[in-house]
Structure 1
Amino acid sequence: MLELIPLDLANLRRLAASDPVDLGGIEICEGALPPARVASHALAQLDIGTPSHWCAPFLIVSRNAILGTCRFRAAPAHGSVEIGYEVAESQRGQGIATAAVRLLLQTATSTGLVRQVVARILPNNVASSKVVSRLGFSKGDSLVDDDGETVVLWSIQVAT
């Protein structure tokens, strides 16, 4: 069984500082935690008052092991929210990302604030494109993101 557990503030700060996290003996698969820039982005969102469930990563946990993380990038705006996700390389190809994104979709829908969920995916990231396609996302236009990378915009309308 897979579950999403919010990353606590102390560990979010550790991750942003590239310090070791303390998750109480839970095994962390290599590459399961996001890079420091993701934690720093979440901390910046918290600083402007964004509720933690809309910006702090969720740990993807199964059998007392962290397999990856997923998150909302910010609070919904105009009924739309953006997601991000990553799974440790050793855990890929097992449906973990699909299950985690499905749980994020359920979380977003349950708030009553979200009508659309968006994911920005690099054009050559076939695996991530398959995840969102499998869940009913539609492929949209390509655009250049804030990092100067071309990404494909995938979106799904959700019932509120």
Structure 2
Amino acid sequence: MRETGGDQIAEAVASCVAALRPAVDRDWTEVKAGRLEWNCHETAVHVADDLVAYAANLAGRAQDAYVPFELKLDDGTDNSGLLHVVETTGALLAATVRTTSRAIRAFHPYPFRSADRVGFAAMGIAEVLLHTHDMAEGLGVPYRPSDELAESVLTLLFPHVQPGPTPWETLLWATGRGELPGRAPVTEWRWRNNLVIPAERLDLVGIRPAEARDLRLGGDGGFEWIEGGPYEGTREAAGFLLKAYEGGVLRPEFGVFALVRREDGRAVGGLGFHSAPDEEGRVEIGYDLTESARGNGYATEALRALADWALARDDVTSLFATVEPANIPSLAVVSRAGFTKVSEDGEGLAFELRGR
């Protein structure tokens, strides 16, 4: 799949500069940026500050907080100079994303305290697109980014938002900047980077809607798979995730995870939830491994990690798994992970793991 990265950051920044350059002779400190409390000058500085902060966190592998520095313009910097700063900080983020391994994650506070290079690219693009819109609205100049850029932001950072008529209008609505027919106005919002759950030898890496779509269409979802992967069960689960996203009912932390081997960064299988927990806190899980990865204990390790994460939550009381009676390896996996058999019917054996 085509991964969102440095090229898309550069495209977003170029669209920002092209839109705002005709207004550089205006006093940006006297013009409010759309619906924001900031003026256009403050907003442009904020964009540049975010771009370089994201680059610094990713390059510096920050784990607990932002790298402690702040962007400061030289006295007397005019609007043309400020746009040059935006271009430069955008180039720094683009270069950092291009040269960082997908396996690297660095600090970002919301919601799971980390993001990978794709997440940082998407956040940088979101800052540029949305705040360029704010400044263009205040300055009275036209601006509309490509739908491809807007869609990438939605599918990577807003998996909880149902797609709308067009990506750009949907992104504006999702961030409180516009209206969509049939949907209530948005007054509070946050984007959501994907969840990663560490296990002993694996990382359970949350699959985002953009990646799920590629997997369902026969691609690799942006992951490097071992021979024979991804297995059909992972592709089918990606299709269920995509259907939930398109229906506006996806809770991404209860989605699908790629099982990525930490030693070489290669995916060996998939594991995830069939849906969010029901009213009683019950949730069903499923998993598969590529054939060449079987027999190494990966499925048991991943299932234990997912179970520990889920049962530590207040909204989960028990996990269920259904296994065909003839699937001896899978029966061994659920047993080793602590599940007990609770029923048997025509669809298979049902196993349950309850929280303490």
Contact 1:29 1:66 in 2 (8 A): no
Partner residue, 2:271: 70
The aligned counterpart of 1:85 is 287
1:55-85 residue CA offsets vs partner (Å, 9 max, x unmatched):
2x20111121101110011000111110101
Deviations 1:91-126 (A, max 9, x none): 111110000000110121132211110001111011
Paired residues in the alignment total: 151
Contact 2:234 2:288 in 1 (8 A): no
**2:308 alignment counterpart:** 106
| 1:30 corresponds to 2:231 | no
Helix, strand or coil for the counterpart of 1:103? helix
CA distance in 2, matches of 1:21, 1:84: 19
Equivalent in the alignment of 1:147: none
Are the equivalent residues in 1 in contact too, given 2:340–2:351 (CA < 8 A)?
Answer: yes
Question: TM-score w.r.t. structure 2 length?
Answer: 0.40
- Report the AA paired with residue 79 of structure 1: G
> Structure 1 counterpart of 2:341, which letter?
K
* Pick aligned residue for 2:329 from 108, 117, 127: 127
Cα deviations by residue, 1:5-28 (Å, 9 ceiling, x for unpaired)? 1112211011222344323xx344
Please tell me the residue identity of whatever aligns with 2:239: S
> C-alpha separation between the residues in 2 aligned to 1:28 and 1:12?
18
* Corresponding residue number in structure 1 for 2:215: 15
Question: Cα offset for 1:35?
Answer: 4.7
**Structure number with higher strand proportion:** 1
The 2-side partners of 1:136 and 1:73 are apart by 19
Output the CA distance in 1 between the equivalents of 2:313 and 2:243.
Answer: 22
Match of 1:45 among 234, 240, 244: 244
Q: Which has the higher contact order (CA 8 A, sep 6+)?
A: 1
SS of the residue aligned with 1:39? helix
Q: Is the 8 A contact 2:220 2:230 kept in 1?
A: no
TM-score in terms of structure 1 length: 0.85
Match of 2:258 in 1: 59
Partner SS state of residue 111, structure 1 = coil
Q: Report the AA paired with residue 325 of structure 2.
A: P
Which residue among 338, 345, 348 is the counterpart of 1:136?
Answer: 338
**CA deviation after TM superposition for structure 1 residue 42, in Å:** 1.2
For residues 308 and 250 of structure 2, the distance between their equivalents in structure 1, rounded to whole angstroms, comes to: 20
Cα RMSD of the aligned pairs, angstroms, is: 1.7
Q: Given the superposition, is the C-alpha separation of residues 32 and 20 from structure 1 closer, same or farther in structure 2, using an over 3 Å criterion?
A: closer
- Structure 1 residues 36, 69: CA separation in 2 closer, same or farther (over 3 Å shift)? closer
Greater shift, 6-15 or 33-42, is seen at 33-42
Aligned equivalents of 1:102, 1:113: Cα separation in 2: 18
Give the conservation status (yes or no) of the 8 Å contact 2:286–2:321.
yes
Listed as ranges, the gaps of 5+ residues in structure 1 are 145-149
Look up the equivalent residue of 1:133 and give its one-letter code.
Answer: S
Greater fraction of residues in helix: 2
User: Which deviates further from its counterpart, 1-10 or 80-89?
Assistant: 1-10
Select the structure of larger CA radius of gyration.
2
Confirm or deny: 8 A CA contact 1:141 1:153 kept in the other structure.
yes
Q: Which residue number corresponds to residue 151 of structure 1?
A: 348
Structure-2 change in CA distance of 1:104 and 1:20 (3 Å): closer
Is contact 1:109-1:158 (8 Å) kept? yes
